[in-house]
Amino acid sequence: SFPTHVRLVEVGPRDGLQNEPDPIATSTKLELIDRLGAAGIRYIEAASFVSPKWVPQMADHREVMQNLARLDDVVYSALTPNLKGLEAALECGVEEVAVFGAASEAFSQKNINCSVAESLERFAPVLERAKQANVRVRGYVSCVLGCPYEGEIAPAKVAEVSKALYEMGCYEVSLGDTIGTGTPLAAKRMLEAVAREVPMAQLAAHFHDTYGQALANLYAVLEEGIAVVDSSVAGLGGCPYAKGASGNVASEDVVYLLNGLGIETGIDLEALAATGTWITQTIKRPNRSKVGVALAAK
Ligand code: HMG
Ligand code: MG
């Protein structure tokens, strides 16, 4: 059955911007994060401590994390694929981080330059060090509903990697449909396999909208009990190692859907939509939130 409350994880400042080819001013990123907090978002993935050679747009991760106008009840997290990233994030006062693995060998190689097994070996010391520092760690699994290089991915493989991350100490595992090829039944079957290994309350849905299925897929997994949803304001984004991938499901569209279902989020939809209008105008990108476009035209 549906949850009564959903926590939105806003990944726009990270997943939404990481693929932008032209440099975006740090001040624009900070203003985006401020506006998202003011709209009632309580969890914002603000930066990514990855190699600037691999993802140049996230090269200002330190400046972003150090200059946040932090709100007390908002969590500002960052991606940290290895100890080097974690140490830098800790120096910047990060309170929560995320490691990211994949259910596909080929994607793991392209994205983080190692096999799935090697990635888990690299994450273990990250989790250990984070625990010492009292920093919670979220885990991502990419390619849960398909891989740009391998095609179909078995639900059992997704369950195996999710279980490994959970047992390692990730408090939540976010299931990424990186290339947005999933459909509702496939999403349900995948989730059923994962939920046999990791409690439903510790799972999140991270769906990209490349094939226009993200909202339908979300509806399917909400019905199964998923209560944490990753999304990106204005549907910003794409993945540098997944050609043709479009952004995450738009946060505005998710909030509108949840409002209609009577599921609470604590988010001010008008303020969120205004943020989507502002950021897309500022970085000169189309607004990929249908709800955002409709509300702006009112
Ligand atoms: P590597 O080349 O295997 O690592 O990269 P290395 O340890 O051999 O280091 C190579 C160079 O990178 C060295 O610098 C290191 O210092 C540097 P050099 O000596 O050549 O000057 N380096 C770093 N610099 C800054 N921060 C670090 C760091 N680590 C090493 N943390 C690595 C391995 C993971 C670092 C690399 O492959 C990388 O940065 N990949 C980027 C991956 C990425 O950001 N992908 C996008 C995010 S994931 C995603 O979008 C999916 C998700 O949204 C879910 C979904 O939708 O499915 C989460
Ligand atoms: Mg993503």
The answer to whether 239 is a known catalytic residue is yes
Q: Which of 14, 17, 18, 50 to mutate to test the pocket of ligand 1 (most atoms within 8 A of CB)?
A: 50
pLDDT digits (tens, 9 = 90+) for 189-208: 999 999 999 999 999 999 99
- 252 close to 276: Cβ distance less than 8 angstroms: yes
What's the rounded mean pLDDT across residues 234-252?
82
What is the rounded distance in angstroms from the CA atom of residue 25 to the CA atom of residue 16? 14
Residues of the chain above pLDDT 90, percent: 96
Long-range contacts of 152-156 (CB under 8 A, 24+ apart): 153/103, 153/104, 155/189, 155/190, 155/192, 155/193, 155/194, 156/193
Is the C-beta atom of 100 inside 6 A of ligand 1?
yes
| CA 158 vs CA 49, 104, 130, 139, 218: distances in Å | 25, 9, 24, 12, 17
Residue 240 has pLDDT above 80, yes or no: no
| CA 275 vs CA 26, 102, 132, 287: distances in Å | 17, 31, 36, 11
pLDDT digits (tens, 9 = 90+) for 21-58: 999 999 999 999 999 999 999 999 999 999 999 999 99
Query: Nearest bound ligand to CA 242?
Result: 1
DSSP one-letter code for 249? P
What is the rounded distance in angstroms from the CA atom of residue 239 to the CA atom of residue 133? 30
Residue 184 has pLDDT above 70, yes or no: yes
Measured CA angle at 53 (ends 25, 170), to 5 deg: 90
Stretch among 60-64, 130-134, 206-210, 244-248 having the lowest mean pLDDT: 244-248
pLDDT digits (tens, 9 = 90+) for 78-121: 999 999 999 999 999 999 999 999 999 999 999 999 999 999 99
Q: Round the average pLDDT of the chain to a whole number and report it.
A: 96
Is the C-beta atom of 82 inside 6 A of ligand 1?
yes
Q: Which of 10, 20, 45, 51 to mutate to test the pocket of ligand 1 (most atoms within 8 A of CB)?
A: 51
Is the pTM value of this prediction over 0.90? yes
Task: Note the pLDDT of residue 244.
Answer: 67
Is the C-beta atom of 142 inside 6 A of ligand 1?
yes
Query: Nearest bound ligand to CA 61?
Result: 1
Residues paired with 265 in a beta bridge: none
Q: Which atom of ligand 1 is nearest to the CA of 112?
A: 37
What residues contact residue 245 under an 8 Å CB cut-off, 6+ apart?
148, 178, 179, 180, 208, 210, 238, 239
Residue 223 has pLDDT above 70, yes or no: yes
- 244 close to 203: Cβ distance less than 8 angstroms: no
Task: Note the pLDDT of residue 239.
Answer: 59
Query: Nearest bound ligand to CA 144?
Result: 1
Task: Note the pLDDT of residue 246.
Answer: 82
Distance from chain centroid for Cα 274: 21
Is the C-beta atom of 107 inside 6 A of ligand 1?
no
Q: How many residues does the chain have?
A: 298
In this structure, the residue with its CA closest to atom 24 of ligand 1 is: 51
- Helix (H) / strand (E) containing 77: strand 75-79
In this structure, the residue with its CA closest to atom 28 of ligand 1 is: 51
Task: Note the pLDDT of residue 241.
Answer: 62
What DSSP string runs through 96-140?
A: EEEEEEES-HHHHHHHHSS-HHHHHHHHHHHHHHHHHTT-EEEEE
pLDDT digits (tens, 9 = 90+) for 253-298: 999 999 999 999 999 999 999 999 999 999 999 999 999 999 999 9
3-state helix, strand, coil in the chain (%, to 5): 45, 20, 35
Task: Note the pLDDT of residue 296.
Answer: 97
Is the C-beta atom of 176 inside 6 A of ligand 1?
yes
Task: Note the pLDDT of residue 149.
Answer: 95
Residues of the chain above pLDDT 70, percent: 97
